[in-house]
Amino acid sequence: MENGAKIYVAGHRGLVGAAIVRALEKQGFNNLLLRTHKELDLTRQAAVEDFFHKEKPDYVILAAAKVGGIHANSTYPAEFIAVNLQIQTNVIDAAYKAGVKKLLFLGSSCIYPKFAPQPIAEDSLLTGPLEPTNEWYAVAKISGIKMCQAYRLQYKFDAISGMPTNLYGPHDNFHPENSHVLPALIRRFHEAKVTGAKEVVVWGSGSPLREFLHVDDLADATVFLMQNYSGIPHVNMGSGSEVTIKELAEMVKEVVGFQGELKWDLSKPDGTPRKLIDSSKLAELGWEAKIPLKEGLVETYKWYVDNVAC
């Protein structure tokens, strides 16, 4: 991406979009094209086409999506498949038609089969059944990868896909039920500390393993791929290190400073048992994660206290 290029970041007020804006600005890209959901509803095809026709961005990073944790994914399957298919189909097609030079689509590690061999390489895609708690979202994300590949093959459109692992950081969604595990636990432990509660309930058995990547690392990797990768296969974006949900809960408890007990709610789903992705392709291209989980947790908790809990 050249200096002064007009870059459209879709979803710039979300966890990922906000971090991508920070990363681009840090690297000197100041001609950013940004629209809130209210200003431009990406599920509306005519509005999206009109926007691209008028604005003609040079580059597009697609970080707008319907996103949520295990409970939201299981509770709103229709929204997770329909909204995501609509947003990504409208944006990828309109970007191609408007002559965009390059587009990056963000998927998710939930695209892989529930029992894929670990660490999960890119070529595990479509080799087995999906995890039922997020199959609707996963099918939409797989379609996004395939759409980028099809547009590259038929139209020579430079569309690439990155598959991030579980993310966290400032501007995350801290909703008590609909968020992902890390922000949910930050909020629950903080509220328990403030109210003097004796215990905190954590969902499931605590045994599932998850790989976490700080969103500033993800944003850095996204800009890196825009600058250094053009190919048909999607690229995994992970940190390479994983923890059990029990270990994560103990870490959040310590960072927040909660003194009580943990209680496990076995009526809640565990989801996929393990999803460590193989990010060696990204490493071979020359990128690796930098922010350790403990450091990122401390910083994210501070952001939560300063911006959400107050």
Ligand X SMILES: NC(=O)C1=CN([C@@H]2O[C@H](COP(=O)(O)OP(=O)(O)OC[C@H]3O[C@@H](n4cnc5c(N)ncnc54)[C@H](OP(=O)(O)O)[C@@H]3O)[C@@H](O)[C@H]2O)C=CC1
Ligand Y SMILES: C[C@H]1O[C@H](OP(=O)(O)OP(=O)(O)OC[C@H]2O[C@@H](n3cnc4c(=O)[nH]c(N)nc43)[C@H](O)[C@@H]2O)[C@@H](O)[C@@H](O)C1=O
Chain residues binding ligand X by CB under 6 A are 11, 13-17, 36-37, 41-43, 63-67, 87, 106, 108, 164, 166-167, 173, 180
Binder of ligand Y out of 180, 190, 234, 253 (CB under 6 A): 180
Q: Is 155 a catalytic residue?
A: no
Q: Closest Cα to residue 164, out of 212, 115, 203, 227?
A: 212
Q: Does 297 bind ligand Y (CB under 6 A)?
A: no
Q: Which is nearer to ligand X, 192 or 215 (CB)?
A: 215
In the range 190-209, which residues lie near ligand Y by CB under 6 A? 202-204, 208
Question: Scanning the structure block, which residue is given the tokens 């103990």?
Answer: 250
Report DSSP state, residue 179. S
Q: Which is nearer to ligand Y, 117 or 273 (CB)?
A: 273
Min CB(29)–ligand Y separation in Å: 27
126 vs 139: CA distance, rounded Å: 10
150 vs 277: CA distance, rounded Å: 24
* Burial bucket for residue 13 (CB in 10 Å: 0-12, 13-18, 19+): middle
Task: Tell me which of ligand Y, ligand X, none is bound by residue 268, counting a contact when its beta carbon lies within the kind-specific cut-off of 5 to 8 angstroms.
Answer: ligand Y
Q: Does 41 bind ligand Y (CB under 6 A)?
A: no
Q: How many CA atoms lie within 13 A of 256 on its CB side?
A: 27
End-to-end CA distance of the chain: 39
Number of residue whose CB is nearest ligand Y: 69
Min CB(104)–ligand X separation in Å: 11
Min CB(66)–ligand Y separation in Å: 10
- Given a contact cutoff of 8 angstroms between Cβ atoms, the answer to whether 139 and 132 are in contact is no
Count of all residues that appear for the chain in the document: 310
- Given a contact cutoff of 8 angstroms between Cβ atoms, the answer to whether 252 and 210 are in contact is no
Q: Which is nearer to ligand X, 45 or 173 (CB)?
A: 173
242-244/209-214 β-pairing: antiparallel
199 vs 196: CA distance, rounded Å: 9
The active-site residue, picked from 137, 151, 168, 304, is: 137
Q: Does 162 bind ligand Y (CB under 6 A)?
A: no
Q: Does 44 bind ligand Y (CB under 6 A)?
A: no
Min CB(115)–ligand Y separation in Å: 14
Task: Tell me which of ligand Y, ligand X, none is bound by residue 37, counting a contact when its beta carbon lies within the kind-specific cut-off of 5 to 8 angstroms.
Answer: ligand X
Q: Which residues bind ligand Y (CB under 6 A)?
A: 68-71, 73, 108, 110, 134, 137, 166, 179-181, 184-185, 202-204, 208, 210, 245, 268-271
Active-site annotation, residues: 137
